[in-house]
Amino acid sequence: MTALPAPLEAFLTEVGRFFVMLARTLAWTPRRPWDARELVRQMVRVGVDSLPVVLLTALFTGMVFALQTFSTLRRFGAEGFVGSLVALSMVRELSPVISSLLIAGRCGSAMGAEIGTMRVTEQIDALEALATDPVHFLVVPRVWATVLTLPLLIVVGDVIGIAGGYLISVVYFGANPVTYVENTFRYMDLDDLTSGLIKAAVFGLIVAVVGCQKGYHTRGGAEGVGRATTRAVVLASIAILIADFFLTKILF
């Protein structure tokens, strides 16, 4: 085997493992037994448990965005567009990306740590020895739970973010509430919403597959688990930002 430069080899290994894990997840998905209870349990962990963080972040993102755009656009006398700008940016870009980054930190890391601990304590081996595929049992419910739940979180984030923008524009800057709400929805299509949701689903897939994959390939005890956890968050975050660029290019 000819040697590749170490960083390149590490990068290619990571990419390869991601797609192998994705392929195994898809291959095992239709197989029985289906564990609906585990799927719901994971959806609760990703969705319900993350709701407060997502709400808080979305609210402040919407507020900051309104703050920035209002004072800028006022210089051109264009503050009437703030509503549209906040709404479109939230729905298409900010809510999916920021919430997904949060979920990467919150759930991707948890998946890495959990599965990584199971790896170093031989629990993954035990699953296999008990005629249970670890990808089927552990990864499939986590991936689907994240893919299904993240778009729901993002819808809530959209609403709260827009509300945050409204709060700043109307209450703080004193914009006309009726025109503001009108402007919010004037330029928005269903496509804007769905593209944000598609992004969210893809980001959810990235977070869960990266988290599970890092956990699955953990080596070296407690330290290894720590490393896997950190790497899961870093890699998923980078992958989200890269995927966001390409998705935006394709979807708009």
Partner 1 sequence: MPAAPEPPVKIRLREVTKGFAGRIVLDGLDFEVREGESVVVLGGSGTGKSVLLKHMIGLLRPDGGTVEVDGRDLATLAGPELTAFRRRFGMAFQEGALFDSMSVWDNVAFPLLRAGWPKAKRAERVAECLEMVHLEGAGRKMPAELSGGMRRRVGFARAIALEPRILLFDEPNTGLDPVIKAVIDELILELQDKLQSTAVTITHDLTSAFRIADRIALLFRGRIVAYAPPEEFRALPDARVQQFIRGLASGPLTE
Contact window for partner 1 (CB under 8 A) among 80-88, 126-134, 183-191, 206-214: 126-134
**Pick 118 or 233: Cβ nearer partner 1:** 118
Q: How far apart are CA 249 and CA 252, in angstroms?
A: 6
Map the footprint of partner 1 across residues 6-65, applying CB under 8 A: 27-28, 31, 33
Q: What distance in Å separates the CA atoms of residue 123 and residue 166, rounded to the nearest whole number?
A: 50
Stretch that binds partner 1, among 45-53, 118-126, 155-163, 220-228 (CB under 8 A): 118-126
223 binding partner 1? (CB under 8 A): no
Is 191 near partner 1 (CB under 8 A)? no
Among 132, 176, 179, 194, binds partner 1 (CB under 8 A): 132
Instruction: Using CB under 8 A, pick the residue from 3, 129, 178, 250 that binds partner 1.
Output: 129
Q: Single out the segment in contact with partner 1 by CB under 8 A; choices: 49-57, 64-72, 115-123, 173-181.
A: 115-123
By CB under 8 A, residue 121 contacts partner 1? yes
Residues 89 and 92: their CA atoms lie apart, in Å, by 5
- Which string of b and e fits 182-208 if b means at least 16 CB within 10 Å? ebbeeebeeebeebbbebbbbbbbbbb
Interacting residues of 19 by C-beta distance below 8 A, sequence separation 6+: none
User: Which of residues 115 and 240 has its CB atom nearest to partner 1 in the complex?
Assistant: 115
Task: Kindly state the smallest distance separating residue 32's Cβ from partner 1, in Å.
Answer: 9
- Comparing CB distances to partner 1, the nearer of 33 and 174 is 33
**Is residue 250 involved in binding partner 1 (CB under 8 A)?**
no
Residue 68 burial (CB count, 10 A): 14
Query: How many C-beta neighbours within 10 Å does residue 74 have?
Result: 13
Q: Which stretch binds partner 1 (CB under 8 A): 48-56, 93-101, 124-132, 231-239?
A: 124-132
Q: Is 74 or 219 the residue whose CB approaches partner 1 more closely?
A: 219
**How near is the Cβ of 16 to partner 1 at its closest, in Å?**
17
- Residues whose CB falls within 8 Å of the CB of residue 64, separated by 6 or more in sequence, listed in order: none
CB of 246 to partner 1, least distance (A): 31
SS3 204: helix
Instruction: Please tell me the distance from the alpha carbon of residue 100 to that of residue 169, in angstroms, as a whole number.
Output: 26
Q: Which is nearer to partner 1, 5 or 33 (CB)?
A: 33
Instruction: Report yes or no: 229 and 109 within 8 Å, Cβ to Cβ.
Output: yes
What angle in degrees, to the nearest 10, is found between the helix axes of 140-166 and 95-103?
Answer: 130
Note if the bond before 141 is cis, omega within 30 degrees.
no
Question: Rule CB under 8 A: which residues touch partner 1?
Answer: 27-28, 31, 33, 117-118, 121-123, 125-133, 136
